[in-house]
Amino acid sequence: MAEDGVDELVSFLRNDRREVRQMAVDLVKGLTGDIAGVTTLSQRSQQLLPELLKLISDSDNIQRSAITSLVNLCQDAETMNQLLALNVVARALDYVTDGACQNDYLLIMLLANVTTIQKGSEQLLQLGQGVKEGFNMAVLLKLFMAPKKPDQADKYEHIAAILTNVTRLKAGRSLLLEPGRGFIQALVAQLKSANLLRRQGCAAAFRNCCFSAEQDGTLEQMLDQRPQLQQILSQLCGVGASKEIDDTVRAALAESVLMLAETDQGRSVLWELQAPSMLKTGYEDEEAVDVCEAMERMAQLFLSDSGKVEDVTEQGQATADDA
314 has pLDDT over 80: no
pLDDT tens track for 198-256: 999 999 999 999 998 999 999 999 999 999 999 999 999 999 999 999 999 999 999 99
Segment holding 139, helix H or strand E: helix 135-145
CB 110 within 8 A of CB 67: yes
Nearest-angstrom CA–CA distance, 118 and 81: 10
pTM of the complete model:
0.91
Nearest-angstrom CA–CA distance, 152 and 149: 5
At 253, the amino acid letter reads: L
DSSP string, 186-205: HHHHGGG-S-HHHHHHHHHH
CB 129 within 8 A of CB 122: no
pLDDT tens track for 117-166: 999 999 999 998 888 999 999 999 999 999 888 888 999 999 999 999 99
Q: What is the pLDDT of residue 151?
A: 83
Cα maximum dimension of the chain: 79
Of 166, 205, 174, the C-alpha closest to 189 is 205
Nearest-angstrom CA–CA distance, 130 and 260: 31
Q: What is the pLDDT of residue 149?
A: 81
Nearest-angstrom CA–CA distance, 202 and 249: 9
Instruction: Report DSSP state, residue 242.
Output: P
Contacts of 14 (CB under 8 A, 6+ apart): 21, 51, 54
Q: What is the pLDDT of residue 100?
A: 77
Using only C-alpha atoms, the chain has a radius of gyration, in whole angstroms, of 23
CB 299 within 8 A of CB 279: yes
Task: Measure CA of the first residue to CA of the last residue in the chain; give whole Å.
Answer: 64
Nearest-angstrom CA–CA distance, 135 and 269: 32
Of 107, 115, 112, the C-alpha closest to 53 is 107
Q: What is the pLDDT of residue 83?
A: 98
Q: What is the pLDDT of residue 273?
A: 97
Average pLDDT, the chain: 92
CB 27 within 8 A of CB 5: no
CA atoms within 13 A on the CB side of 267: 16
Nearest-angstrom CA–CA distance, 286 and 289: 8
